[in-house]
Structure 1
C-alpha cells in the first residue's frame, strides 16, 4: 500500500507536468501491484478522465471490462466496455476486444453498430471490414457479407488479408450450399491457410468437401503435403485417393496410389492387403484376346487358377472352377485332390470323405492299389463314423456276403434330387441296400463292378445328365429287377425327360411349318409366330402405376412402333430359363437390390427387356444404385419405344446426380433424345443447348440442334399459314 501511495503521488506530479510517458510507466506499475483491484483501477480511470487524459481513461476502462468478463460479471463488463467506447472511440484495439465480446454473447447487432462506428473513423481499415463481414455471416446476412468480401478482394490487399477474405467467402458459399464455388476459392488459399490456421483446423474444413470433391481434395492435399514435407498427411491422402479410384472401378489407378503410399510406410498391413487384393483381381480379370477370340484355358491352367484362389482362402471361387472341371473330366485326380483339400479347410467332412472314396475308385481302376489304400485310410482319418466307411468295414468282416449284398463305398451318401422348379441339390434319403435273395436266373457281377455302376449312375444324376443316368439305372434294374429304388429312380427320370421330348416334337413341328410357309411364299405378317419367347402374352398387370402406363402405351402403339421383339428361343432353352426364373423368384428376397440389379443387367444384355424392366423397378428402391438403375430403365424404355416413361426415368437419374460431369451431361443428352423421339422438339432443343454449352463437340450435339431448329422453323411456317387461312373461311361464311 505504501508503494501505491507513492505511485499515486507521482501520478499527480506527472499530470501537472504533462509527462505522458512517465505517467504511462507509473500507471503500469500500479496495476501490476494489484491487477484485479477494480475499485483502484476505477479511481485511476476517473482521475485520468478528470485531468483530460481520455485515451488513458478508455484503456483503463477496457482493462476493467476484461477483468469483469473473466470473472463472469458480464453486465459490468459490458458497461465498462461501452463507457470506454463513448469516452475515446479512436482507441483502435477497442473494436477487436469489444466485437469479440459481443460475438461471444451473440449480440450481432451491437457488434455491427460498433464496427460501423469504427469504419466512420477509419474507413480504410480492412481489419474492421473483415470483422463486419464475419459478424454478418454469423447473423445470416450472407449477401451483405459477400459484398464486403468481394470489395476487399478486388482492392488487391496484402497476402494475409486476401487469405482471410477468401476464407470467409468460402464460408459464405458453403452457407448457400454452393460447394463448387466454395472449393474453387478454398483451393487457391489452401497452402496459406495451413500456415495461418494450422493443420487440424484446415483439415476439418477440407473434410466438408470430401463427399462432393473427393479426388480433387486428395490431389490438392498431396501437392500441399509434398510442399510441407508432411509424410503422414501424404500417406493418408494417397490411400484416400486410391480408395476413390477403387470405388470407381479404376483398379490400375488405385494400385498406383497405394504403391505411392507404400513407399512412405512399407510395413502397413492394411495397405499391403489392399495392394494384394487389387493385384489378385487384376490378374484374374486380365483377358488375352487372339483375333478377337478368347483363348480357351487348358485343364492345367484352370487348376492353376483354382490353386491361386485356394492359396488366398477364396474357396467359393476355387470350387466354382473345380466343380465345372469335375463335370468335364470326372476322373481327373488333381481336381478331386483339390476338392478334398477345400472341404477339409471348410470342415465339410462328408464331402471330403466323398472325394477320398472317388479317388480310391479311380486309383483302383488304374491299378494303383497303394494309392487306393492311402485314399481310404485318409477317409477313415477324416471321419471314421461315416456310414459309407462303416459299410466298407462290414464288407471286409463278412466276405461271404460280398456277392449278395449291395453295399458300396457310396452307401450313406445322399443322392440329390433335382426338382422341376429349381436347379439345385437337395438332400434325399440314401439308398438303403438290403441283402438280396439269391437269384440264379441273372448272373450277379462282381461287387467292384456294381460299385462302379451305382457310383456312375449317382454321378450322372447329380450332374443333370439324365439320359446317361437312365441307361445305367436300367442296367442295374436288369441285374436286380426286385430293387424298387432303381425302379423309382428310372420312373422319376423318365417323367422329367417327358416334357423335353414334347418340346423337341413341338420344335420339330414348328420348323416344318416354317419350311412350309416359305414354300408357299406367305407374307411374314400373315404367318402366326411359332417362336417361344421369354415374355408370353399375359393379362395386363394393374398393380403398379408404372406398369399401368406401360400397358396403356403398348395398347396405343401400332405394330410398327413396337418393333423390338423379345429374342426367340428354342423350347428346351425356354424350359431351362423358366425353371431358372422360378428358382430365383422363390429364393430371392425383395430387399436384395444388388441381385435384382445384376439380373436386370443380365436380362438387358440378353435382350429380355420386360424381365430387365421388372428387375430394375425393384432395384431402384436402393438409394445407392438409384442413379444407375434409373438410367438403365431409361435405356430399356427407349428400346421399347415407351418414350414418356424413358423421360421420367432419365429425370429421376438426373435428380440423384450431384456432380455435373460427363455422366450428368450424357444423361441430359439421353433425356433430350427421349423428348425428341416423343415429339416434344422444343423441350429436346432446350436440353441439347445446355449440353452444347458444356461441350459443343459432345455426341455431335451441334448437328442435333441444327436439325431441330430447322424442323421447328418449318413447323412455325406451317402454323402461320394455318393461322391466316381461318379468317378467309370466316369471311366467306359471313358473306353467304
Structure 2
C-alpha cells in the first residue's frame, strides 16, 4: 500500500510538473506571438508612413509640375492676346493649336479658338478695326482736299471713272487708311501697295501718289519718288491745289538731294500762287540766300490767303 501510494504521489508530481511545463510553454508562445504581433504592427505603421511620405512627395511634384504648366500656358495665352490685339489672328490660332497638342485636357484652349474666330469675323466686317487707333491721330487737315477736285475732272478719264465705280468708295477708303497706318508704322512697302490700290479712285489719286512718293523718299528711292511726283503733275496740271502740293513735295526731294536750284524753282512755283502754303515762303528765302540770289519779292507779288489750309 505504501509503495502504491508512493507511486501515485510520484505520478501526481510528474503530472503537475508536466502541466507546469505546458503552461510555461504556452506562456512563452503567447509572449512570442505578442512580440511578433507588435513587430508586425510597427512594420505596417512604418510602411504606411513611408507610403504616405511618397504620396505626399508625388503630390508635391505633380502640383509643382501643374503650376509650371499653368504658368507656361498663361504666358503663351498672353502672347495670344498680344497677337489678337495686333490683329494677327493666324499667329494667335497657330499658337493655341500648339498649346492644345501639349495640353489636350485644357478646355479653355478651345474657348480661345472660338474667341479668335469670332474676333476674326468681326475684324473682317469692320475691315479697319485693327488700325482705328493709329488713324485717329491723323487730322483731317493733314490729308489732301483731292476729293473736292473730282468735279473738275469727271469728264477727263472715262477709264479711271469706270475703275472707281467698280472698286467702290468704301473699299478705296479702306486701302487708303491702311496705307496711312502702314506708313505711320514704317511699313513702307505695305503702305505703297495700299496707296496703289487707293489710287484707282480719282478722289484719292493725288493723295495716294503724294503719300507713295513720301514712302519712297523714306526708303531712299529718290528717283522713283521724283517719278511719282512728276506723274501726278502730268496727270493733273490744271489743278492749282495739286500743282502746289506736288511741286512742294518735289522741292523737298530736291532739297534733300542737294539740288537746291531745282528745289527753289519748285518752291517758287508754289510761292507764286500762295506765299503762305505751309512754310514755302521761308524755304524760298533760305534757298535764295544759299544760292546768292537777291530777294526779288515785293508787296505786289501774290500773297495768298494766310488762313488757307494745307492738306498734307
Specify the TM-score bucket, using the shorter chain as the normaliser. Answer: 0.3 to 0.5
In terms of Rg, which structure is larger?
Answer: 2
TM-score (norm 1): 0.19
TM-score (norm 2): 0.41
Greater relative contact order: 1 or 2 (C-alpha under 8 angstroms, separation 6 or more)?
2
